[in-house]
Structure 1
């Protein structure tokens, strides 16, 4: 334990990978509020596959339009077909070939898109998860986990929906309309130019109107995410809900969220229907005018029968195409609004981030220094006020003081959960400022046993291995033995393969505590932080766990917060903190003889014990 193990750094891919991830995170943050650019950067990761999908769609639409022109040639060849069948046969063969090619190109592009679009959603989830996990604890305390999970999924789903809608709903009618206009130019140039001008104006108006409705779509996306977050919050606290007979109360609360979400959804959908109604009226008038124009040309002998059929079919293609395009555009607008809303929540700038290419923490000796640190949480008074403390390597130091004195903040700063401002002091390990080293190497050097143990809904083996994923089962069992939880493992039907439930709900508090100690043994970090690790346990469990903690503390630098002073009896030092300042420091024996907070607490405990009241 003379130096920090490099397993976390190696797992993270080393300094070069760390620099790459840092640059990607900073680049990703720039896309907050820029959903189209965010989408394009994911498309740009797979340019070849997206190009093949695009080419397939263009080719399929081209074949479809060409087949209509081939039908026009067939109709014009029919009057002379009996005398000259070669023209009819040639037109028939061209139509058949185009029909087969049309279907082939659709299927090829569809096959490629299945893999490509799904892979993009994986990219989105993977990168957003990596970005979100780099946020500070303040961010996670202000945003509900259910809402975060919902927005990560919503962003990926929005990207998938946009790609699918553009590829299969928006792009084909757009290409059809443009191709139809080009073919109409073969019949009459002025007809094509007028149609092009009207289509561009109509598309611009629809796009402008669709953009004006984006706030309605974003409101719906926000309300939907709030409902998801509320559901997760209530379900995650179902034991408390039942304890206080609050099922009806929570149902009423959820109804209020659902009513707001349904109202915003109806507003969003009604706006889309208004756009579709406007477009339907415009395209119906346009198609009628187009058909009347070509019939007038036919009466004057300036258009053939095939031309009339061609213009009629192309007119209907334009009618249906622009209608589908309008529907697709407003749908895409809605999906883009959802993407923008989710991205704005997830891609907020990180409050605390490591420098790109930050070096790994090198531990020569595991000493700790707080150098004149002043720290305050946002909008609150300073918790630490010019706080200084030096802890030698291998020392066991207990933190004592009233609630709100700053004890928990000291552990948080040591883990770099927060950073003190540059001008307000520094926290250092082995002479290196924590703000200047990589977070992975820092956290690899520290093991934590908290009061509230957090376990994953996975097997005991996976939970214990969490700090050392490559540990063998023999190493895990050895750690369990040292943590006094081997009997627990053997008592379970599935042993280490037992699934512990949500947050370890299938284990008692003492059992979860021993699993956390076993996890810390396996991690084998040079610095150990104990945050009231035995305060919530009964006396029997506390004694067993205290023995395990004594083994765990051997040879490590230990900083502990203890509610029960008896757990600090064998510590080297007790540091007394009040109002964010160090007010006393000494061995347990020295402080018990010196007037102050520590001795006052001891005297109160003795009086309670004399009265038959025990902690």
Structure 2
């Protein structure tokens, strides 16, 4: 067994799933996408092709052996049969008992140990790495479930279709070519039925295969849409239950199920039509060939062995034709799946690092927006020629009605989107010319819509500073006022405290608990620039007051940009910047803006309990 394990591992190491992809996005064209991935593993597929050729050749040779054995038995006395043909029989036995099992074993090892796990997971890994680098807008424009589904299914579909093509190539060419050659060797007239059958079989494939390909692609699109709708419902299960729309949601999913079923039926109609046609052709082939061979034998043109050879080989060919149909159906169904997945896997990234991009170095924390313009691809609105200077260590608050562009401005600072005009400088460095990772490493962010990774509390905290020790974790929890509830956490599998899992997006925690973990994570990160987008919105007044000391310590010596409506947060800022329709309309301290009597004063007048009125919040 140890020797067998070594052999398995040898073949399993032929394709490394985690080898990085070539530079750039994968090709968007279907054939070029296949070539792009198969080129990375071509030695394994070349070996599979060669081994497949010899496996098919031995299969055909076995039918030739049957004909020869029948002829030898018919022409040789029984008493001297083994004496006269012992050497020939020995070679036949060695081919069947030794060469055939060894080649089949080699074929299975290449296919099952190397190609099957290696290629599929390499496609998935490289696709995931590429998609992970897409812009925020990319993910906002699609269902998370559909993106994940396309990445998962594309690897298996590409592997299956490529492997099936390799398998089919030699079986088709070797079987049909050898059959024609062996039939012609017996009597050229035996080739007529199979030649006619080959033409009719190819015509059938030519008629039906394009229909199957098109309908398979349509079916894959429908399945992806169904997956997206189902995952969307599960992700928002609380909303579904709160609004008591179970029937409406079922109808929404039912529509996608009905579409998937209808498109699948269209494909299976074409498959059934092809199956019936080929089955009819196969019946004609075996009848015509066997009858023709018997007639030729009756007039003395061929031997009994020729009848055995032609009948056996024709039966094998018609069985193989059914397998080929199944393979062709599988190939084009998988090709359709890959084609559908290309919409997600192949698009080039819209926010990319320049080739000469350097790491951002922050010594002071000065931030400048110079004629910043951004429209989310629309013709107007959002951010229009905005200028803003945030001095090193300054703490400013962004205020304005909904849609003023406050959160968009922060997303542009983080380079989640690229500017359409102008530039953003940090310590004099244009953020478009630095690496995205180094930029975001220098900015700590706490948002009002906090979502945690479906992992442990510890893993979520370590996103702030990988490698942080236990003392640092505990200090961050204390400063974020999370030390009281974290030790008491217990998940469904009995894990406690820092090891407890928080659920998808952190749903096992309350909104306030999630917010405190998010603040602890940013405390641990300790970046020189801090962005707070309603950082304490999910906290009640008592907890907010308790946590404010931790936030004060976090803000010391840092450049802070805060989007906030609560009095406690606004009052602490050095300067307030009031935005409306993507422009800065006012700037000054709280007292100065109230005295000015402009937009800020009107927003302030509408406050209730420290909040900007709902119609003006943003």
Pairwise same-fold verdict (TM > 0.5): yes
- Asked whether 1:445 is paired with 2:442, we answer yes
Q: Decide whether the 8 Å contact of 2:356 with 2:433 is kept in 1.
A: no
Match of 2:214, SS state, is helix
- Asked whether 1:106 is paired with 2:114, we answer no
Q: Decide whether the 8 Å contact of 2:193 with 2:285 is kept in 1.
A: no
Task: Give the equivalent residue in structure 1 for 2:119.
Answer: 120
Q: CA deviation digits over 1:330-362, x for unaligned, max 9?
A: 221121111111213432333333334532223
Task: Give the equivalent residue in structure 1 for 2:76.
Answer: 80
- Asked whether 1:529 is paired with 2:546, we answer no
Task: Give the equivalent residue in structure 2 for 1:64.
Answer: 59
Deviates more, 1:461-470 or 1:91-100: 91-100
Task: Give the equivalent residue in structure 2 for 1:499.
Answer: 501
Task: Give the equivalent residue in structure 2 for 1:583.
Answer: 585
Q: Decide whether the 8 Å contact of 1:517 with 1:552 is kept in 2.
A: no
Distance in 2, matches of 1:430 and 1:384, equals: 22
Distance in 2, matches of 1:601 and 1:391, equals: 23
Task: Give the equivalent residue in structure 2 for 1:560.
Answer: 562
Distance in 1, matches of 2:440 and 2:203, equals: 54
For residues 250 and 607 of structure 1, do their structure 2 counterparts lie closer, same or farther at Cα, with a shift above 3 Å needed?
closer
Q: C-alpha displacement at 1:196, in angstroms? A: 5.1
Match of 1:487, SS state, is coil
Q: Decide whether the 8 Å contact of 1:467 with 1:522 is kept in 2.
A: yes
Q: Decide whether the 8 Å contact of 1:162 with 1:336 is kept in 2.
A: yes
| Selected match of 1:487 from 476, 484, 487 | 484
For residues 578 and 344 of structure 1, do their structure 2 counterparts lie closer, same or farther at Cα, with a shift above 3 Å needed?
closer
Q: CA deviation digits over 1:144-195, x for unaligned, max 9?
A: 1111111112212212332453455675455333333333343245654874
Q: CA deviation digits over 1:72-107, x for unaligned, max 9?
A: 222221121433533333343233222222233222
Q: CA deviation digits over 1:287-315, x for unaligned, max 9?
A: 33333343343344332221221122122
Deviates more, 1:189-198 or 1:137-146: 189-198
Match of 1:530, SS state, is strand
Q: Decide whether the 8 Å contact of 1:448 with 1:529 is kept in 2.
A: yes
Deviates more, 1:114-123 or 1:405-414: 114-123
Structure 1 segment 34-433 matched on structure 2, within 5 A: 34=30, 36-78=31-73, 79-81=75-77, 82-100=79-97, 101-116=99-114, 117-166=116-165, 171-189=170-188, 191-192=190-191, 195=194, 199=198, 202-203=201-202, 205-379=204-378, 381-421=380-420, 424-433=421-430
Q: C-alpha displacement at 1:453, in angstroms? A: 0.7
Structure 1 segment 459-478 matched on structure 2, within 5 A: 459-478=456-475
For residues 196 and 522 of structure 1, do their structure 2 counterparts lie closer, same or farther at Cα, with a shift above 3 Å needed?
farther
Highest RCO, 1 vs 2 (Cα 8 Å, sep ≥ 6):
1
For residues 276 and 540 of structure 1, do their structure 2 counterparts lie closer, same or farther at Cα, with a shift above 3 Å needed?
same
Number of residue pairs aligned between Structure 1 and Structure 2: 585
Distance in 1, matches of 2:168 and 2:21, equals: 37
Q: C-alpha displacement at 1:461, in angstroms? A: 0.1
Task: Give the equivalent residue in structure 2 for 1:572.
Answer: 574
Q: C-alpha displacement at 1:561, in angstroms? A: 0.3
For residues 194 and 41 of structure 1, do their structure 2 counterparts lie closer, same or farther at Cα, with a shift above 3 Å needed?
farther
Q: Decide whether the 8 Å contact of 1:177 with 1:321 is kept in 2.
A: no
For residues 256 and 471 of structure 1, do their structure 2 counterparts lie closer, same or farther at Cα, with a shift above 3 Å needed?
same
Distance in 1, matches of 2:127 and 2:304, equals: 59
Q: CA deviation digits over 1:239-283, x for unaligned, max 9?
A: 221112211222222222211111111111111111122222223
Q: CA deviation digits over 1:561-595, x for unaligned, max 9?
A: 00213302122211111221112222334334332
Q: C-alpha displacement at 1:197, in angstroms? A: 7.1
Distance in 2, matches of 1:551 and 1:149, equals: 40
For residues 408 and 366 of structure 1, do their structure 2 counterparts lie closer, same or farther at Cα, with a shift above 3 Å needed?
same
Distance in 2, matches of 1:606 and 1:224, equals: 49
Distance in 1, matches of 2:199 and 2:50, equals: 24
Q: C-alpha displacement at 1:44, in angstroms? A: 2.5
Q: C-alpha displacement at 1:451, in angstroms? A: 0.4
Task: Give the equivalent residue in structure 2 for 1:5.
Answer: none
Distance in 2, matches of 1:555 and 1:87, equals: 100
Match of 2:543, SS state, is helix
Distance in 1, matches of 2:105 and 2:569, equals: 70
Q: C-alpha displacement at 1:447, in angstroms? A: 1.4
Q: Decide whether the 8 Å contact of 1:375 with 1:420 is kept in 2.
A: yes
Distance in 2, matches of 1:383 and 1:173, equals: 61
Distance in 2, matches of 1:520 and 1:478, equals: 12
Distance in 1, matches of 2:425 and 2:220, equals: 44
Distance in 1, matches of 2:504 and 2:170, equals: 46
Gaps of 5+ in 2: 1-18, 491-495, 612-616
For residues 608 and 315 of structure 1, do their structure 2 counterparts lie closer, same or farther at Cα, with a shift above 3 Å needed?
closer
Task: Give the equivalent residue in structure 2 for 1:12.
Answer: none
Distance in 2, matches of 1:487 and 1:469, equals: 23
For residues 143 and 577 of structure 1, do their structure 2 counterparts lie closer, same or farther at Cα, with a shift above 3 Å needed?
same
Distance in 1, matches of 2:173 and 2:323, equals: 9
Match of 1:499, SS state, is coil
Distance in 2, matches of 1:592 and 1:433, equals: 35
Q: C-alpha displacement at 1:198, in angstroms? A: 5.1
Distance in 1, matches of 2:382 and 2:242, equals: 35
Query: Please, what is the CA RMSD of the aligned residues?
Result: 2.6
Q: Decide whether the 8 Å contact of 2:357 with 2:435 is kept in 1.
A: yes
Deviates more, 1:295-304 or 1:332-341: 295-304
Q: C-alpha displacement at 1:220, in angstroms? A: 1.1
Q: Decide whether the 8 Å contact of 1:135 with 1:352 is kept in 2.
A: yes
Deviates more, 1:574-583 or 1:102-111: 102-111
Deviates more, 1:168-177 or 1:71-80: 168-177
Distance in 1, matches of 2:394 and 2:487, equals: 35
Q: Decide whether the 8 Å contact of 1:77 with 1:87 is kept in 2.
A: no
Q: C-alpha displacement at 1:201, in angstroms? A: 6.0
- Asked whether 1:597 is paired with 2:599, we answer yes
Deviates more, 1:339-348 or 1:557-566: 339-348
